[in-house]
């Protein structure tokens, strides 16, 4: 599975919505249930899924599926989890 | 057993939780702790409950506890968890401590004491639910650095005192406990306990790992509240109690002692012994030649466990599923009371699959040094109170074995009963026995006519009611005390006595105690002015054996439905007699007015 597909699956699990209803442009702005708590759950779930750790500065920028995929890709899945500590 | 968030979600989603009895948890908090919910739901599911969590609005602890702002506290609440983080409650004490005068420190401490006292009273006015109040965290890095530890009015000392105040205030209430958050912090470690990113981004201080640990700690309290804490530890022997295989390596070859590598097993046995002293029943389940195992118990100089600590043993070559079932039967305990410890993946998997009620702990035999910690961290047997019955449970089971031997020698049942020299003591519940009575209503499934569960607080309230009697009995015989093992709750409505609950611990079944207790309770009802007693039978999956209890005791069947059967007894002509074989029946009821005369 590609990074993008794994992110989409993560978003779908955390929001409790079918994967098909989520695309690159999905964001807290156009999905009502995507509140700040869900955003936190999503970030922590992705960190666990990919074995990475985002900085707080990165987290505040992760505001759509597209940006989240980019953030994950930049750290590299399974990259050293200390990479941005 | 660290589970990822999505593993927990997957497990919860794959089960029909709605079929399980509900567990309502209300969370009062001044920080964001919502991510604890999946852990609470998961721990609840593991004990057979469907948890529903409700959170007060952010930093609305006072408004909720005193004002009922969202109305999440009520009679249906099972547990109130309080997360009051000092940073939000008092920035000065938490972070600005170096700038405070002694007077200002006292002023802030006073304000907090006043605040928590009012919150506590507010909660108690709304609900009798269990209160789990998280202690204030001690700072990993005090504002004054190591100088703080030299100060009588330092930050650490001040927070310590606040925690002691909290503990005292909570202990003034029933069913209210200070949850030791600092113990959780120590286990996880401060570097992993906090997620500083989300503390700043969203006032959510605790990491997932911390919340899992805190949730686990909460359930050490919640399990016994619902009678779901475990009572019996069943142990494999080879590579569990000692290193190596006794049948192959022999007494001198196995690893056990005060120095490495035997020290890991020595420490593990010490922990098991501690559990025994807390009332956990120990049993052995091992594929071995029985004589080999007992030789280790009797002859090995470094064995801490002795044969007298073991209530029952199944040492043979049968499969462990069969043996565990037999052990539970021997001890008259349900499999849901059992924790099974084995190092073998095969045995662990087989038991998990065939006996899902059993908590299975598979020890990592290549890392025996971790055994002790794994056992101590489990918390399966924990309870916030320890009754006399709990403490002596281990020895009680030994006495039970002696009784069985005597029974085998006796000619008939009556002469066996008489030879036991049983003394039955029947009393109203008092402050010392409230907890044990509540515990019995929570735990008893088989000999229980209605299986109504009551908390400490509810039993306490009933005991003070003018229109009820909460009656218990305790038994002793020539082999020892069986403790408080029977309960009858009578509720009076004019001249009718409703037998709300009638139950006996399975430990004392088959000795006619129910006959004696029922007769004494019926006499009590009559002396309080009742002319009719009403018995109820509520069928459950486990109480089939008592379905004819009332008809067998001269009660007449009256209208009812499949869920609730009613029986009546005319007390005016009641002339029931206690069984003749008791050595003594010692009944003393509190003086109470007749029901009709109020």
CATH of the domain at B418: 3.40.630.30
Beta-carbon separation of A60 and B201 below 8 A: yes
Asked if pLDDT for residue A85 goes beyond 50, the answer is: no
Tell me, yes or no, whether B78 lies in a domain: yes
Residue pair B323/B287 in contact by the 8 Å Cβ criterion? no
SS3 B24: strand
Query: What ipTM is given for this predicted complex?
Result: 0.89
**Cα–Cα distance between B394 and B309 in angstroms, integer?**
7
Q: Are residues B429 and B577 in the same domain?
A: yes
Confirm whether B596 is domain-assigned: no
Integer Cα distance of A45 and A41 in angstroms: 6
- Report chain A residues whose CB lies below 8 A from the CB of B35: 37, 40-41, 44
Tell me the average pLDDT of chain A.
Answer: 88
B43 φ, ψ to 5°? Answer: -60, -40
Best mutation target, B4, B6, B192, to test chain A (most A CBs within 10 A)? B6
pLDDT at B353 over 60: yes
Residue to mutate among B197, B199, B209, B210, with most A CBs inside 10 A, is B197
Q: Is B594 contained in some domain?
A: no
Last residue of a domain, one of B225, B243, B273: B225
Contact between B452 and B506 under an 8 Å Cβ cutoff? The reply is no
Cβ pair B538, B444 in contact under 8 A: no
Give the model's pLDDT for residue B406.
Answer: 79
Tokens, residue B509: 């079944």
pLDDT computed for residue B332 by the predictor: 84
Cβ pair B485, B427 in contact under 8 A: no
Q: Based on the fold, state whether residues B253 and B355 are members of the same structural domain.
A: yes
Residues B282 and B180 in one domain: no
Considering Cα of B424, then B231, then B44, then B355, what sign does the dihedral take? negative
Are A48 and B35 in contact (CB < 8 Å)? no
Contacts of B205 in chain A (CB under 8 A): none
Interchain CB distance below 8 Å, A59 and B9: no
**What is the pLDDT at residue B130?**
96
Q: Do A56 and B5 touch (CB under 8 A)?
A: no
Query: Residue B593 domain-assigned?
Result: no
Judged by a CB distance cut-off of 8 A, whether residue B7 touches chain A is no
- Structure confidence by residue, pLDDT tens digits, B167-177: 999 999 989 99
Relative orientation angle of helices B181-188 and B208-225, to the nearest 10 degrees: 130
Query: Are B238 and B221 members of one domain?
Result: no
In our burial notation (b when 16+ CB lie closer than 10 A, e otherwise), range B308-342 reads: ebbbbbbbeeeebeebbbbbbebbebbbbbbbbbb
Give the C-alpha separation, B134 to B218, whole Å: 9
Residues B440 and B330 in one domain: no
Tokens of B309: 């600590």
Mutation for testing the B interface, residue in A17, A37, A63, A84 having most B CBs under 10 Å: A37
Copy the structure tokens of residue B453. Answer: 């569960």
- Which domains are present in chain A? 3-75 (1.10.1200.10)
Nearest CB to B201; choose among A13, A41, A56? A56
Token pair for B555:
């009660």
Q: What is the pLDDT of residues B108-128, one digit of tens each?
A: 999 999 999 999 999 999 999
Is residue B232 within 8 A of residue B331, CB to CB? The reply is yes
Tokens 């506590």 identify what position?
Answer: B120
Residues B432 and B498 in one domain: yes
What percent of chain B stands above pLDDT 70?
Answer: 99
* Cβ-contact B489, B469 below 8 angstroms: yes
From the CB of residue B591, how many other CB atoms can be counted at a distance below 10 Å?
5
Q: At what angle do helices B434-443 and B456-464 cross, to 10 degrees?
A: 120
Q: How many whole angstroms separate alpha carbon B399 and alpha carbon B404?
A: 9
Q: Rounded to whole angstroms, how far apart are CA atoms B71 and B68?
A: 5
Q: Are residues B20 and B72 in the same domain?
A: yes
pLDDT above 50: residue A81: no
* Structure-block tokens of residue B187: 């286990």
Phi-psi region of B185 (alpha: psi -120 to 50; beta: other; left: phi over 0): alpha
Q: What's the CA gap between B219 and B228, in Å, rounded?
A: 10
Asked if residues A49 and B6 have their Cβ atoms less than 8 Å apart, the reply is yes
Average pLDDT over residues B408-434: 86
> Considering only alpha carbons, which residue of chain A is nearest residue B10?
A13
Query: Which of B207, B225, B243 corresponds to the end of one domain?
Result: B225
**CA nearest B97: which of B85, B81, B108?**
B108
Domain check: are B144 and B237 in the same one?
A: no
Closest alpha carbon to B390 in B243, B226, B277, B288: B277
**Span B436-455, average pLDDT:** 91
Cβ contacts of B515 within 8 Å, gap of 6 or more: B553, B578, B579
Cβ distance of B35 and A55 shorter than 8 Å: no
Q: Distance, in angstroms, between A25 CA and closest chain B CA? A: 23
Same domain, B119 and B260: no
Find how far residue B71's CA is from the centre of its chain: 28
B193 and B285 belong to one structural domain: no
Average pLDDT value for residue range B486-505? 95
Q: Is residue B444 part of a domain?
A: yes
Domain that holds residue B505: 388-394+407-588
Q: What is the DSSP string of B517-543?
A: HHHHHHHHHHHTT-SEEEEEE---SS-
Q: What is the pLDDT of residue A42?
A: 93
Tell me: the pLDDT tens digits for B228-244?
999 999 999 999 999 99
B160 and B268 both lie in a single domain: no
Q: Is the dihedral of CA B219, B284, B420, B550 positive or negative?
A: positive
Tokens of B111: 């304000």
Lowest mean pLDDT among B263-272, B410-419, B420-429, B470-479: B410-419
Residue B400 lies inside a defined structural domain of this protein = no
- Higher pLDDT pick, B305 / B412: B305
Distances (CA, A) of B38 to B129, B207, B422, B435, B567: 21, 13, 50, 30, 45
pLDDT of residue B477: 87
Q: How many helices (H) and strands (E) does chain A have?
A: 4, 0
pTM: 0.78
Question: Is B202 part of a structural domain of the chain?
Answer: yes
Helix (H, G, I), strand (E, B) or coil at B407: helix
Based on the domain organization, do B247 and B361 belong to the same domain? yes
Structural domains of chain B, count: 3
Contacts of B200 in chain A (CB under 8 A): 56
Asked whether residue B531 is assigned to any structural domain, the reply reads yes
Taking an 8 Å cut-off on Cβ atoms, the answer to whether B35 and A44 are in contact is yes
Q: What is the SS3 assignment for A76?
A: coil
**What single-letter DSSP state applies at residue B54?**
E
CA distance B560 to A70: 67
Exposed, middle or buried: residue B370 (CB in 10 Å: 0-12, 13-18, 19+)? middle
The verdict on a CB contact (< 8 Å) between A40 and B198 is yes
Q: How far is CA B163 from CA A6, B55, B174, B219, in A?
A: 45, 23, 18, 21
Counting one residue from A and one from B, how many pairs have CB atoms under 8 Å apart?
35
């Amino acid at each position: 599975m590609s990074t993008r597909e794994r992110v989409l699956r993560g978003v779908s699990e955390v929001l409790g919505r079918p994967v098909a209803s989520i695309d690159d442009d999905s964001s807290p702005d156009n999905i009502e249930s995507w509140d700040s708590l869900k955003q936190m759950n999503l970030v922590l779930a992705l960190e666990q899924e990919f074995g990475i750790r985002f900085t707080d500065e990165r987290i505040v920028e992760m505001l759509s599926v597209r940006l989240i995929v980019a953030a994950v890709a930049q750290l590299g899945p399974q990259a050293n989890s200390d990479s941005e500590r | 057993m660290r589970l990822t968030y999505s593993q927990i979600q997957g497990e919860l989603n794959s089960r029909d939780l709605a079929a399980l009895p509900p567990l309502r948890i209300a969370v009062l908090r001044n920080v964001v702790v919502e991510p604890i919910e999946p852990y609470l739901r998961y721990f609840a599911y593991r004990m057979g409950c469907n948890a529903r969590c409700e959170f007060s609005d952010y930093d609305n602890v006072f408004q909720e506890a005193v004002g009922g702002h969202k109305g999440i506290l009520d009679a249906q609440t099972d547990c109130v968890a309080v997360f009051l983080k000092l940073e939000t409650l008092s920035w000065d004490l938490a972070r600005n401590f170096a700038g405070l005068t002694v007077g200002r420190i006292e002023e802030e401490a006073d304000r907090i004491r006043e605040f928590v006292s009012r919150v506590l009273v507010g909660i108690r006015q709304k609900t009798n639910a269990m209160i789990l109040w998280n202690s204030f965290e001690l700072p990993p890095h005090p504002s004054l650095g190591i100088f703080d530890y030299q100060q009588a009015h330092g930050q650490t000392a001040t927070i310590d005192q606040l925690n002691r105040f909290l503990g005292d205030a909570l202990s003034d209430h029933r069913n209210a406990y200070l949850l030791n958050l600092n113990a959780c912090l120590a286990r996880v470690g401060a570097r992993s306990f906090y997620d500083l990113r989300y503390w700043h981004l969203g006032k959510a201080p605790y990491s997932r790992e911390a919340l899992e640990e805190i949730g686990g700690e909460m359930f050490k309290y919640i399990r016994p509240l619902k009678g779901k804490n475990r009572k019996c530890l069943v142990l494999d022997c080879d590579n569990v109690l000692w290193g190596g295989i006794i049948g192959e390596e022999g007494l001198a070859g196995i690893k056990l002692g005060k120095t490495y590598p035997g020290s890991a097993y020595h420490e593990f046995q010490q922990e098991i012994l501690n559990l025994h002293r807390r009332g956990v029943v120990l049993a052995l389940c091992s594929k071995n030649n029985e004589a080999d195992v007992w030789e280790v118990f009797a002859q090995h100089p470094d064995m801490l466990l002795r044969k007298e600590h073991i209530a029952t043993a199944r040492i043979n070559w049968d499969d462990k599923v069969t043996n565990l079932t037999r052990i539970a039967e021997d001890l008259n305990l349900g499999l849901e009371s059992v924790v099974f410890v084995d190092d073998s993946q095969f045995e662990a998997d087989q038991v998990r699959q065939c006996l899902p009620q059993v908590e299975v702990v598979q020890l990592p035999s290549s890392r025996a040094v971790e055994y002790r910690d794994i056992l101590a961290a489990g918390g399966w047997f924990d309870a916030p109170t320890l009754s006399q019955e709990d403490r002596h449970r281990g020895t009680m089971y030994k006495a039970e074995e002696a009784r069985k031997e005597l029974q085998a020698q006796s000619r008939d049942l009556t002469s066996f009963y008489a030879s036991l020299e049983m003394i039955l003591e029947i009393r109203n519940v008092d402050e010392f026995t409230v907890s044990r009575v509540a515990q019995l209503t929570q735990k008893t499934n088989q000999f229980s006519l209605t299986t109504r569960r009551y908390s400490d607080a509810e039993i306490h309230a009933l005991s003070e009611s003018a229109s009820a009697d909460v009656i218990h009995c305790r038994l002793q015989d020539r082999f020892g005390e069986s403790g408080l093992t029977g309960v009858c709750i009578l509720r009076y409505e004019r001249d009718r006595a409703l037998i709300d609950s009638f139950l006996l611990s399975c430990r004392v079944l088959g000795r006619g105690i129910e006959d004696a207790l029922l007769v004494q309770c019926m006499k009590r009802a009559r002396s309080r002015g009742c002319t009719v007693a009403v018995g109820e039978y509520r069928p459950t999956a486990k109480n089939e054996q008592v379905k004819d209890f009332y008809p067998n005791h001269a009660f007449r069947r009256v209208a009812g439905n499949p869920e609730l059967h009613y029986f009546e007894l005319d007390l005016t002509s009641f002339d029931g007699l206690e069984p003749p074989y008791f050595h003594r029946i010692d009944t003393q009821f509190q003086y109470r007015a007749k029901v009709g005369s109020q």
